[in-house]
Amino acid sequence: MIDVAPGDFTPFLRNLRQAGYVGGNITIPHKERAFSLVDRADDAAGHIGAVNTVWLEDDALCGTNTDWTGFSDNMDACAPGWEQVETAVILGAGGAARGILYALATRGIERVRIINRTRPRAEALARDFAGLFASPIEVCEWQSLPEAFAGSGLLINTTSIWMEADGAPVPDLSPLSSRAIVSDIVYIPLQTPLLAAAQERKLTTVGGLGMLLHQAVPGFEHWFGIRPEVTEDLRNLIVRDMENHR
């Protein structure tokens, strides 16, 4: 991993080849800037407004966003048929939520409710993605979570709200559908309080580490010409590495 200060990011990206790189993954806070700097970006990156994977093709710097495929590939692996839900609820309206909204739209989910601490951010997201869903995106309040959860078959947390041990309590999940899938994109800790609460209710849960692994697959293929497989062994290797760096 290379720490690049925001002020150094433009020259860093422009000089990628000269520095000996074939490409890379980009993370917070550079994803939006990367989108504006690449020579070619695909539709996904355009809709999401952020690039997390870059690679060189001849003289062109190409960019895409693999957060959304990372999310949907992980869901396919852990909860096959997940896209057959009618209503999905997303907690959060940051960069990760944008990628996930794109994944939901691409997989044909019709109805989405967004809840975010800062409501105008959720409203902006609802406007940006309006054309991709059959029904208008609903923006709900934290205070009315039970109504927002009512009957929903898929809940996705994209916020860091429950990352701290002494953070806010996990909301009551009982209004969700009894067959709901609960997905948390947070992977530190692997078992988040939200996932634990969902398991207590015997709901299907999907953790965030798989999304991290799956989002890296297309990048690796662009850089090295080999499409890696996300396996249990790979997952265990990363888990051990995370434990060593705690």
- What is the H or E stretch that residue 183 is in? strand 181-184
Counting contacts by CB under 6 A, is residue 193 touching ligand ATR? no
Smallest gap from Cβ 117 to ligand ATR, in A, equals: 3
CA distance 46 to 54: 14
Letters for 130-159 (x = contact with ligand ATR by CB under 6 A, - = none) are: ----------------------------xx
Site for ligand ATR in 10-49 (CB under 6 A): 28
Q: How far apart are CA 102 and CA 69, in angstroms?
A: 9
Applying CB under 6 A, the span of 91-99, 205-213, 214-222, 236-244 interacting with ligand ATR comes to 91-99
- Work out whether 111 is an interface residue with ligand ATR (CB under 6 A): no
CB nearer to ligand ATR: pick between 90 and 181: 90
Q: With contact defined as beta carbons under 8 Å apart, do 54 and 26 qualify?
A: yes
80 φ, ψ (degrees, to nearest 5):
-55, 140
Check binding of 189 to ligand ATR (CB under 6 A). Answer: no
Binding status of residue 160 toward ligand ATR by CB under 6 A: yes
Q: Is 63 in the site for ligand ATR (CB under 6 A)?
A: no
Considering the complex, state which of residue 1 and residue 236 has its C-beta at the smaller distance from ligand ATR.
1
The yes-or-no answer on residue 31 being catalytic is: yes
Among 37, 75, 96, 137, binds ligand ATR (CB under 6 A): 96
Q: Which of 53, 64, 66, 116 binds ligand ATR (CB under 6 A)?
A: 116
Q: State how far the Cα of 68 lies from the Cα of 217, in Å rounded to an integer.
A: 12
- Measured from the CB of residue 202, what is the shortest distance to ligand ATR in angstroms? 26
Closest CB to ligand ATR belongs to which residue?
94
Set 24, 30, 31, 109: catalytic member: 31
- The answer to the question of residue 64 lying near ligand ATR (CB under 6 A) is no
Pick between residue 87 and residue 157 the one whose CB is nearest to ligand ATR.
Answer: 157
DSSP track, 46-94: HHHT---EEEEETTEEEEE--HHHHHHHHHHHHSTTGGG-SEEEEE--S
Per residue in 41-63, is it b (16+ CB within 10 Å) or e — as a string?
beebbebbbbbbbbbbeeeebbb
Nearest to 47 by CA among 99, 96, 91: 99
- Distance between CA atoms of 37 and 166, rounded to whole angstroms? 40
Give the residue numbers annotated as catalytic, written as ranges.
Answer: 31
Residues of this chain that interact with ligand ATR (CB under 6 A) are 28, 92-97, 116-118, 121, 158-161
